[in-house]
Amino acid sequence: MILFRKVIAVLFLCIGGINTAWTQIGFTAPNFTVVSTHGDTIRLYDILDGGQFVVLDFFFTTCGPCIYFTPEVNLAFEKYGCNTQDVVFIAIDYQDTNAEVQAYDQQHDIQYPSVSGTQGGGNGVVSQYVISAFPTFLLIHPNYKIVDEIFPPTLVVFDTSFATHGIAPEACLTSTAAPAAMQSLVLYPNPVQTSLVTLDLRRVSGDRVTIFVQDLAGRTMLTEVAQGLNDGLYQLDLCTIPEGLYFVTAVAEDGMRWDGRLVKY
């Protein structure tokens, strides 16, 4: 049975039953490997082993309370680093397709990775974690332990939970605070089958550019400083990066930024 949550004053009711997520606090989080709606493979323990906390957002696309709290969750995602700092948000859907989840994410401006129930493996994760009420937000420590259920998922409650576990607000690595200073980054070939991709940096002022490559979970896979750009072209070696979809950001000394997406296969 799918259960919905509603806030009544400062209390909440799980309509039709009790969510079992509370009983899991303190226990080891089951590992899982899933595929996001954009084709990126996500393995929970890989993120935790990198020292980051993980927030699992269990939802489905017609869940009214899920939609209601989305603006608050988006604020928390942005306040705590947009998956580039100490905590990574992952949305785990139940019973929807990739197309349905992508439409939901676009409509509600969800920027963190989403995993559909029927095509990405979300249904299996819902079963693993015995989730019976939606939305459910679980906070997982890098030591693999489930340390909190965040409800109601408002910014204030996220702040309280994160502060308890030593997670501080952090700026997003690719902040959207100054859109006028952002431009599209040209990369070729794209998709890339070899290890080398060329970045067109001919519009850069100065001779030093810092390049970041991130996966959809917000993990920085590569950081490199390009110097002496005589012809404005720079070859980036991706030999250490597995196949997948990535965000590539180039930041010049004057703060100008270029953003692009890259597919490696």
In angstroms, what is the C-alpha Rg of the chain? 20
Cis peptide before 30 (omega within 30 of 0): no
Instruction: Quote the pLDDT of residue 206.
Output: 72
In a domain, 171, yes or no: no
Contact status, residue 101 vs residue 131, Cβ threshold 8 Å: no
Same domain membership, residue 155 and residue 199: no
Same domain membership, residue 63 and residue 123: yes
In a domain, 174, yes or no: no
Contact status, residue 94 vs residue 120, Cβ threshold 8 Å: no
Parent domain of 121: 3-164
Contact status, residue 245 vs residue 261, Cβ threshold 8 Å: yes
Instruction: Quote the pLDDT of residue 166.
Output: 95
Comparing C-alpha atoms, which of 98, 109, 129 is closest to residue 29? Answer: 129
Is it the case that residue 177 has pLDDT exceeding 60?
Answer: no
What residues contact residue 69 under an 8 Å CB cut-off, 6+ apart? 135, 152, 153, 154
The separation between CA 116 and the C-alpha centre of its own chain, rounded to angstroms, equals 14
Is it the case that residue 60 has pLDDT exceeding 90?
Answer: yes
Local structure of 147: helix, strand or coil: strand
Torsions phi, psi for 258 (to 5 deg): -120, 135
The pLDDT tens digits of the residues spanning 35-59 come to 999 888 999 999 999 899 999 999 9
Same domain membership, residue 14 and residue 143: yes
Same domain membership, residue 225 and residue 100: no
Q: How many angstroms separate the CA atoms of 50 and 52, rounded?
A: 6
Instruction: Quote the pLDDT of residue 11.
Output: 33
Instruction: Quote the pLDDT of residue 182.
Output: 52
Give me the CATH number covering residue 63: 3.40.30.10
Same domain membership, residue 156 and residue 38: yes
Q: How many domains does the chain have?
A: 2
Q: What is the DSSP string of 46-82?
A: HHHHTT-EEEEEEE-TT-HHHHHHHHHHHHHHHHBTT
Reading the block at residue 135, the tokens are: 């939305």
Does the global pTM surpass 0.75? no
Same domain membership, residue 34 and residue 111: yes
Q: How many angstroms separate the CA atoms of 25 and 84, rounded?
A: 25
Q: What is the mean pLDDT of residues 202-217?
A: 80
Same domain membership, residue 146 and residue 20: yes
Same domain membership, residue 101 and residue 69: yes
Q: How many angstroms separate the CA atoms of 168 and 155, rounded?
A: 13
